[in-house]
């Protein structure tokens, strides 16, 4: 059953009692919260996800709750917890839903060492996964949202899960997180894209989330073969330039962009080396999204 098919009342009730259980790619998540805006966030962005009954194995029990009732009126805040553990300091109450996205990133990145986790967006076309590591200023999410809006399958916006067992990329097709100007850029580029509430004044500026395509969500458990590793760099008014990158350099650059490369030790090095073996590696400079999408669509033939 899709989340879309539930009424808002049902979602609110589930969030307020045992928690709402739903499936994101290979992960099952339970979220409980008394914050009303969280239900809106889920209905707007997670509509295509499957809701689970309470016999399912849950990977991550999460909750978003105000730290204390007393503070509700004076600078209200919200806490994210993972099965009773609080990994972060509280945030302003209004940012509860954004905190869920960050919190879930943390849950996955800290507890999924069966994968090498690269800080990168990953999208797929014609069976080929394109990986875009997210160095600062790369615009990986903008690029990712643009490609997905043109029919590419979203595997993940924030983290690429590379299995250390089979070398495939496993999807976590969650909403794509856009910052500041990128929100308008994508709204212009893809007027049909559904963008949720924009959270102002977060630590990362303004944040908006793009709803993942229904197809991407439906294929959430189907892995993809890595084909291209591309380090993007957004540069104002620049031409669209794709430059081959030596495999050794790509390896070191990618290692810097992993969440758990050091934890995995030799397995991390081997997995990353195998990824590099299987992928063409590039650096990519761009300012024009239309040209970028055309170039990659060509490359994926």
Partner 1 sequence: MFENNLIGLPIVPVIHCRFWDEECVIYNQLTGDAHLIDGMGAEVFKILSEKAATRIQLLQTINSNFEWEMDFDAEGFLDNLILEYQKLGLVDVTENTSA
Partner 2 sequence: MKSFQQPILCTVLIDPQLALTFTLRQWDLLIRQARSANLLARLGYLFESAELLNQLPTQALAHIMSAQAYADRFYISLQREISCIQEALHSVNAPLVLLKGSAYFMAGNIAAKGRLFSDVDILVPEDKLPAVEDALMKAGWMTNTIDPYDQKYYRQWMHEIPPLRHLKRQTTIDVHHNILPKTTQFCPDANKLLANSVKLPNQNIWILAPEDRVLHSAMHLFHEGEFAQGLRDLSDLDLLLKEFSTQVNFWEKLLLRANEVQQQIPLFYALRYSKHILQTPIPESVLEASKQRINTTLMDALFLRALLPDHDSCNDKWTGLARSLLFIRSHWLKMPVYLMVPHLIRKTYRRILGKELH
For binding to partner 1 (CB under 8 A), which residues are involved?
246-249, 251-252, 255, 262, 265-266, 269-270, 273, 276-277
Q: How far apart are CA 77 and CA 273, in angstroms?
A: 44
Q: How far apart are CA 37 and CA 93, in angstroms?
A: 10
Closer residue to partner 1 (CB): 78 or 251: 251
In the complex, the smallest distance separating the C-beta of residue 282 from partner 1, rounded to whole angstroms, is 15
Residue 138 contact partner, candidates partner 2, partner 1, none, CB within 5 to 8 A by sort of partner = none
- Decide: 272 and 251 in contact? Cβ < 8 Å: yes
Locate 50 and state its tokens: 């499957």
How far apart, in Å, are the Cα atoms of 198 and each of 91, 95, 133? 16, 9, 24
Closer residue to partner 1 (CB): 4 or 277: 277
Burial of 220 (0-12, 13-18, 19+ CB in 10 A): buried
In the complex, the smallest distance separating the C-beta of residue 260 from partner 1, rounded to whole angstroms, is 12
Q: How far apart are CA 199 and CA 58, in angstroms?
A: 28
The residues near 273 (Cβ < 8 Å, ≥ 6 apart) are 251
Closer residue to partner 2 (CB): 113 or 150: 113
* 3-state secondary structure at position 117: strand
In the complex, the smallest distance separating the C-beta of residue 220 from partner 1, rounded to whole angstroms, is 32
In the complex, the smallest distance separating the C-beta of residue 271 from partner 1, rounded to whole angstroms, is 12
Residue 251 contact partner, candidates partner 2, partner 1, none, CB within 5 to 8 A by sort of partner = partner 1
Closer residue to partner 1 (CB): 87 or 265: 265
Residue 273 contact partner, candidates partner 2, partner 1, none, CB within 5 to 8 A by sort of partner = partner 1
In the complex, the smallest distance separating the C-beta of residue 9 from partner 2, rounded to whole angstroms, is 26
Closer residue to partner 2 (CB): 59 or 65: 59
């Amino acid at each position: 059953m899709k989340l879309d098919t539930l009424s808002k009342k049902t979602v609110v009730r589930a969030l307020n009692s045992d928690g709402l259980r739903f499936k994101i790619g290979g992960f099952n998540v339970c979220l409980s919260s008394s914050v009303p805006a969280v239900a809106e966030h889920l209905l707007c962005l997670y509509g295509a996800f499957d809701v689970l009954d309470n016999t399912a194995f849950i990977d991550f029990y999460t909750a978003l709750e105000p730290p204390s009732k007393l503070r509700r009126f004076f600078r209200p805040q919200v806490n994210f917890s993972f099965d009773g553990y609080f990994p972060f300091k509280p945030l302003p109450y209004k940012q509860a839903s954004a905190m869920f996205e960050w919190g879930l990133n943390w849950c996955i990145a800290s507890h999924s060492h069966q994968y090498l986790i690269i800080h990168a967006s990953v999208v797929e076309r014609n069976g080929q996964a394109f990986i875009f590591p997210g160095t600062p200023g790369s615009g990986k999410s903008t690029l990712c949202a643009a490609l997905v809006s043109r029919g590419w399958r979203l595997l993940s916006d924030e983290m690429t899960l590379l299995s250390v067992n089979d070398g495939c990329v496993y999807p976590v097709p969650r909403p794509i997180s856009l910052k500041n100007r990128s929100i308008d850029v994508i709204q212009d580029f893809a007027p049909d894209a559904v963008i949720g509430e924009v959270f102002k004044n977060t630590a990362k500026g303004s944040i908006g989330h793009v709803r993942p395509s229904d197809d991407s969500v439906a294929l959430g458990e189907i892995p993809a073969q890595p084909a291209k590793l591309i380090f993007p760099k957004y540069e104002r008014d620049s031409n669209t330039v794709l430059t081959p990158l030596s495999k050794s350099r790509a390896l070191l650059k990618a290692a810097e962009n992993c969440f758990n490369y050091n934890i995995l030790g030799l397995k991390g090095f081997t997995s990353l080396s195998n990824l590099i073996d299987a992928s063409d590696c590039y650096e990519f400079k761009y300012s024009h999204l239309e040209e970028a999408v055309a170039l990659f669509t060509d490359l994926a033939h």
